[in-house]
Structures are given as C-alpha cells and as structure tokens.
Structure 1
Amino acid sequence: MTLDPLQRATGLSAQEFAAMYWARQPLLRRAAELPGDGFADLLDLDAVDELVSRRGLRTPFLRMAKNGDVIPAGRFTRGGGAGAEIADQVADDRVLTEFADGATLVLQGLHRVWPPVVDFGAALSAQLGHPIQVNAYITPAQNTGFSPHYDVHDVFVLQFAGRKRWRVHQPVLDAPLRDQPWDQRRAAVQARASEEPLIDTVLEPGDALYLPRGYLHSATALGGVSGHLTVGVHPVTRAFLAEQALATLVDDVELRRSLPMGVDLSDPAALDTELKATQDALHRAIDRLDVARVAAAVGRHLADRTRPQPLSPLAQIEAAQSLGPGDAVVVRHGLRWSLRPAGDKITLVLGGRSLTLPASVEAGLRELLSGRVVAIGQVPDLAGDDAVTLVRRLLREGLVVPAGAS
C-alpha cells in the first residue's frame, strides 16, 4: 500500500491528525512508530553533496548560519564561471570551509528543486489544503545553527541522518501571524527558553516531530553530521479571511465617506460618533458579504503560493501531436480552476489566466478536469475529432497530462 505523506510523518490518518494535533499541540513520533523506512529516500547526505556541488544552486536556495547568526552569502558563493556570469552561485569549497568551522548548511526551497521532495511536498500540501515549503538543515557535530526561536508557520521535522537534540518550549505568542516574528519578542523568547522545556529529546534517523506555529525550538547536532527536513506549512488563517472580507468593503459607499472637517479626529470624544457610524456600516456590509468573492481571493492566494504537478513541456507537445482516441489524460494534480458559463461560451479560470471555449464542451471539460483518468473516446458529449481537439488544446495549455505521467 502506498503511504501518504501525512501518514509517513505522523503515523496518523488525516482525520486523526486534524482532530488531535493540527494547530493544537506538538507530536513526537519515533521511527518505530511510523510506517515506511524513514526519510532518506527524500534526501540523504549524498544528495546534499550533489545539490551543493553539481546543481548550480544560487541564493536564496542556500544559506548558512552559525550560533544563531546568518552568515553573509558572499562567504560561501562566487561567480559561476564561463557561460554563467552570476555572482551568487554556491561555491562548494567555501561551503566546506564554513561547514568545517561549525556552520549549519540550509538548503531552501527543496520542494522546487529536488524531485523526491517536490512530489512529497505537493502531495502533503494537497492533503493539508495549505501551502508548504521544504528546507533541509545539515549541522556539524555539537553545533547549533539557530538559537531558540519560533516560526510563524507550522513545521514537520523529519530526521534523515545523524542525531539532533531538540528543545521545545511553550509559545510566548499563540498562533503568531507572518508579521509577528520571534525577533519582535526577543526578550520574551530568551526568558521562555531558559525555563524547563516542554520537550527535550534526541531525534534519530526516521524520527519525526510536528510543531504548531509559535512553539519555541532549537536543535543541536550530536556526535556527527545531522540532517533533517523541515516542512513549513503556511496556513490560511481567519485573520487572512478578515483581510479579504475587508478588501471587499470598498464597494460600500457609507464606508467611503469622508470624516467631518474642522474637528480634532484624534480626540476620542470627537471620533465617537463617527466610530459608531462606521460600526453600523461595517455590520451592514458584513451581512451582505459575498462569500464567493472572498473564496475567489483565497483561491488566488493559494494559486500564487503553490505550484501544480510538474509537467514536461517537450513530452506535452509530443503527446498533443500524436493524440488519438485510445489515449488517456488526467488533470494536473494541484491545479486550481473554476468554470464561468456565459451564453454560448464558457471561461476556464486558472489563477492569473483564463481560457474561453464553446459552451458545448462544458460537460467534457468538467470530466477532463475531474481528477479521474479519462480516455479520449469517453469524453462526454463530444465526438471523436472534437474530443481530440479539446484535449489537444488542454495538453498544450498544460492543464492535463498524459495519464502515464501523473
């Protein structure tokens, strides 16, 4: 049985994890409690060497830190040489020097550059319904890359090599937002970190740890090079929904009214009447709130923060050219779309672009975008040539992929 990424990281079903842990409390799992064979298939130390020495990474896909301080990029990068005249390509010899001196190596955005992590991250994001990022932290023995801090996103820590001691403390701010980073509360973080930890444990290969945003943490490598993946989950929050709802209120003329002139608007007594009028207008506007409009804004946000399944442009062109009634396709995983019928046309909306097609293809289009594998000869309401024409267009637009590529 194929394991889904949430099972691999927690040993729980999505329903169990959502009910007991999501955004509520940490979860520590040992390798023996988890299905699968650890996380080295996603990344191992040989893969780290390959990424550093042979993949031409540039900042910000790589950074380094030591004892809580980020090292200037110029100390581990240089120009790319002939044909790659750029100044910030990773220099493997300089990485070696910094690493040997105790610096932690951070590979950022692996969900965009390393195929096993690309697939894992996309599947996990689809399960959670929130955007994710994946970084790798590789730390030399007895060193700490980052001092105690909290993140403004949830994290899954997946240990793939070596041993690392983790100390976790209760939040100083519950559920912090993106504009509430830990360094704004540095004194409170340092004070909390001096207290007895909630979790004080050593992660070994195959172990996993989930931390909701806000939980303080720091980690120190033990006895050798340590490597772990950090999957950061960037949640859509109620505060974000409120922002999107307020953005729609510019349509309310009462909220666009100018405040009176000739009064001190910083005086609470002078402002009291206007605040009450604003409250009343807000209540009326919220009662008329267009939920579909807010949902569309959330959809645009998710489309901007996530990527659908990778596709192969050359293979797409070849598939479109050779397409026949016996072939089958499937929608790209992670593609966000909506259909807007208008008379004899229908518009397929995908994030920042749209595609207008005849209304007669609506049933076939919905089936092709359903997530099921669809044979060209079985597209509803379309004869053979018409089905081929529609699917060929969708292949060229990168909306569906050959079924064998999914």
Structure 2
Amino acid sequence: MSPSPAGPQDPGAATARPGVLETRLTTGLSREEFARDIWSRTALLTRRASDFSDLFSAGAVDELVSRRGLRTPFLRVAKNGATLPDASFTAPAGVGATIADQVDDTALWREFADGATLVLQALQRTWAPVGDLTARLAAELGHPVQANAYVTPPQNRGFDAHYDVHDVFVLQIEGTKRWIVHRPVHPDPLRDQPWTDHREAVAEAAQGEPYLDTVLEPGDVLYLPRGWLHAAEAQGAVSVHLTLGVHAWTRYALAEQLMRAALSELRDDPWTRGSLPLGAAGPDDVTAPVRARLLAAVGEADPAPGFHRARRGGARPGPLGPLAQLTAVDHLAPATPVRLRDALEARLHDRRLMTRVGWLDFPETDLPALTRLLAGDVRTAGDLGLACARRLLRAGVLVPAAQ
C-alpha cells in the first residue's frame, strides 16, 4: 500500500505559531542554519536565549515532589556520580495510597540537603508547560523529545563526565551551573551503546583540554549532539535546569526496518525456508545464494510501514480530557470547533487512517475530508461531515478545538 499525501499531526502547530527552535532555543540562528551547521555536528551555546520562567521553576520542583504523589521512575536521585537506590527516598504514602514507591518528601529533603541531585524524569508527562514545549519541538524536528529536570545543591555535581545517546538542549532555569564539555570518544552512539561501554576512554578524555568550559546562567541554552562528553556542577546557589532529550532517528534505525521488511518477505519464500543439505559442516557452501536472495529482498523491501510504526510507538499522543470529549460527542453540531489531536503521527494508507491510538478504515467518500484534516484545513465538525467527525471523536483522534 502506498501512503496518500498527508501532513503531520496538528499541522498548524509548526506553521501558525513561531517555531520553538528559533524563538526559544537557538535565537539568532534560523532553522535552516541550525540544520546545516549545528545539528548532530557540534555543540552550541546560546546566551540569553529566552525567559524560561513560564516553563519551570523552583516552585514547580517543590510542588511535584511534595504534592503530586510522584512515583519512580518519574524521580531518581544521584550523589557523587552514582544513582541512589529508590528505597532511600520512597515509602508507602498512607491510607488510600499505600503504593510503596511514592516519593517520601522528608527522606528526599535529607538527601538533597546532603548534596544529592534530584532528577525529575519524563517531565513532559507531569508538568503541562514542559509537555506543550516538547510536543511542539518534536513536531518541528521530526524526532521524539522528552524532558528531565536536574536540581542540584550548591557546589555539587550529580554525575561524572559521561555522554548521552540522544541529543540534548540544556535550558538553565534558576541558579548557575558550570559545564565542562569534551568532544566525543564514540561519535553518534546508538541507543544501545551507552557511555559505560567506553568508560576508560571517557575518563581519559575528560582529563584533556575541554571543548567548552562555561557557566550557564538563567535563560542560557546549550545544545550537545549525542556522544559529546559533559559534566556539570552547581555554583553558589541551587541550580535548576531542564534537559530536552532528542531521541534522533538514525540511518541505522532505517536499516533495521529494511532488514525486518526483507526478512518478513523471505518467510514466505519456500526456497529460503528450506533446510540446509545433510552433512553441511558450515555455511560456506550455501552462503552465496542466501546472500543473493537477501540482497534482492532488501532491494524490494518497503521500510515505510515499519518505520512509521516505530515512530508512532516512540511517543505518546497529546492529552485528551474524557469529560470534554464526551461533551463534544453529545453536543456535536456542524459549527462545533474541532482539531486533530496533537502528536498522533496520523497518516493515510489507502483507506486506512493510522495513528498512535489505533487505526480506522474509511469509505472512499470520507477520504477527501480526511486529507483536508491532515493538511490542517478542517476547523469544524461540518467541514468533515458529522458522522465522520463523531467517529473520530469517539476514537480519540479528533478533539474539541478548545482542548
């Protein structure tokens, strides 16, 4: 099946609003300049990129750890370069919430006062302003984005020199933090190639001349491609920074999808399923024809379906309020404002609409309206047709425009 022309989910997000990359993270550089000169190539420090007080704050940290009932792994704690066991800062939460791994704010305070760094993980799931920003950035970049917050006491360091297997944008929120950055010892690591695989090389490189040694102040942004070594230490006050992790899709990931598609085709090939000859001591005598079949299958393979499935599985769709959704369904009218739900990775394949919340088949008569929806040209339920709009609302694909 060949995909019909269709734009990204919530297509108006990247065009109607100013881009997050240009207006908040890399001010002074256009998207095209960043893509050409910086992306996946080199570190970039942008001073006073933006005021991030609307995104996160010390008050947000206190609310999350003391009032939101956070559980692991939404929080981890690090001290002296190592991660502390969960039991050192979690406990049952009392009557009605006896889950054993909820944050114990008293224990957490004691660890923090003793120099531990608090890491609020997957913040896009627990703090709405950060979730909105990461969703917009992911739509612009075409790669999944997640967010962690790092809260470090004065003159302390959470982690020793290391590298990440994803690109990062570091947004300094409060306080100051000294960053020491070195070039990679293993450029462009894959997701299963952590820095611990190169521990000795990382430690040796960290003793050399740094590429960058600087102090980030509130509003500064530091971009690091995956593989770049870094260590950070809070200065004279508590430091709060956000790390936006960009989990880049790679050529290797595409090669994996090509191979999977090829092997799926070979499962239906009787010759390939055949047994090797009796008495075969090794593959030497039969490798050549098998390689030829495999190369032919790779040449004909279509990686797109598998690649799009992997993309859909790499992130969650935008939020959906069940009460607002029910109200929209019950009071649906031609003038009801609606929009495609955020971050759906919605695509048309023939008559099938594929999304992160499942797939739906449609009659040919609905396809023009669906194409307009994916292009961002639908504003009301009447633009789609009430029956189609109601079906999409019930499936969680369409949401009220005010949501």
TM-score by length of 1: 0.90
Matched AA of 2:391:
R
Q: 1:53 to 1:352 in 2, by over 3 A?
A: closer
Residue in structure 2 matched with residue 46 of structure 1 by the alignment: 59
Comparing 369-378 with 211-220, greater Cα deviation is found at: 369-378
Percentage identity across paired residues of the two chains: 50
For 2:393, the equivalent position in structure 1 comes to 395
Equivalent runs, 1:244-393 vs 2, <5 Å: 244-250=257-263, 251-252=265-266, 253=269, 255-265=272-282, 271-290=283-302, 294-341=303-350, 346-351=351-356, 353-379=358-384, 387-393=385-391
* Distance in 2 separating the partners of 1:114 and 1:123: 15
Given the alignment, which residue of 27, 46, 54 partners 1:29?
A: 46
Match of 2:34 in 1: 17
> Which has the higher relative contact order, 1 or 2, with Cα contacts under 8 A spaced 6 or more apart?
2
Say if 2:317 and 2:356, in contact at 8 Å, map to a contact too. no
What does residue 6 of structure 1 align with? 21
One-letter identity of the residue aligned with 2:43: P
Q: Does 1:135 align with 2:152?
A: no
Query: Which letter does structure 1 place at the counterpart of 2:25?
Result: A
Shift in Å, 1:201: 0.5
Cα pair distance change 1:87/1:349, threshold 3 Å: same
Note if 1:59 corresponds to 2:72: yes
Contact 1:328–1:373 at 8 Å: present in 2 too?
Answer: no
Task: Please say if residues 344 and 357 of structure 2, whose CA atoms lie closer than 8 Å, have aligned partners that are also in contact.
Answer: no
1:182 pairs with 2:195: yes
Q: In 2 relative to 1, CA 348–373 (structure 1 residues): closer, same or farther, beyond 3 Å?
A: closer
Alignment RMSD (CA, Å) = 1.8
Q: Is 2:341–2:397's contact at 8 Å kept on the other side of the alignment? A: yes
Q: Deviations over 1:221-278 (max 9, x none)?
A: 000100110111111111111111111222223554444442442xxxxx44433333
Are 1:331 and 1:370, in contact at CA under 8 Å, matched by a contact in 2? no
SS in 2 for 1:224: coil
Q: Name the SS for the 2:367 alignment partner.
A: helix
Which shows bigger deviation, 140-149 or 7-16?
7-16
Does the CA contact (< 8 Å) of 2:175 and 2:239 recur in 1? yes
- Conservation of the 8 A alpha-carbon contact between 1:245 and 1:289: yes
2:185 to 158, 172, 178: 172
Q: Compute the displacement of 1:16 (Å).
A: 1.7
Moved more, 51-60 or 350-359: 350-359
Per the alignment, in what secondary structure is the counterpart of residue 201 of structure 1?
Answer: strand
Offset, 1:3:
4.0
Q: Does the Cα contact within 8 Å between 1:299 and 1:351 map onto a contact in 2?
A: no
- The equivalences for 1:118-133 within 5 A come to 118-133=131-146
* Shift of residue 366, structure 1, vs aligned partner: 2.3
CA contact (8 A) 1:142 1:220 kept: yes
Alpha-carbon distance, 1:356 to partner: 2.9
Q: Deviations over 1:97-127 (max 9, x none)?
A: 0000000000000011100001000000111
Tell whether the 8 Å contact from 1:52 to 1:92 is kept in structure 2 after alignment.
Answer: yes
Question: Does structure 2 retain, via aligned residues, the 8 Å contact 1:30–1:206?
Answer: yes
| CA distance 1:261–1:190, shift in 2 (3 Å) | farther
In structure 2, what residue type is equivalent to 1:281? R
Aligned residues: 382
Aligned to 1:268: none
Q: Which amino acid aligns with 1:304?
A: G
Taking structure 2 as the reference length, what is the TM-score of the superposition? 0.90
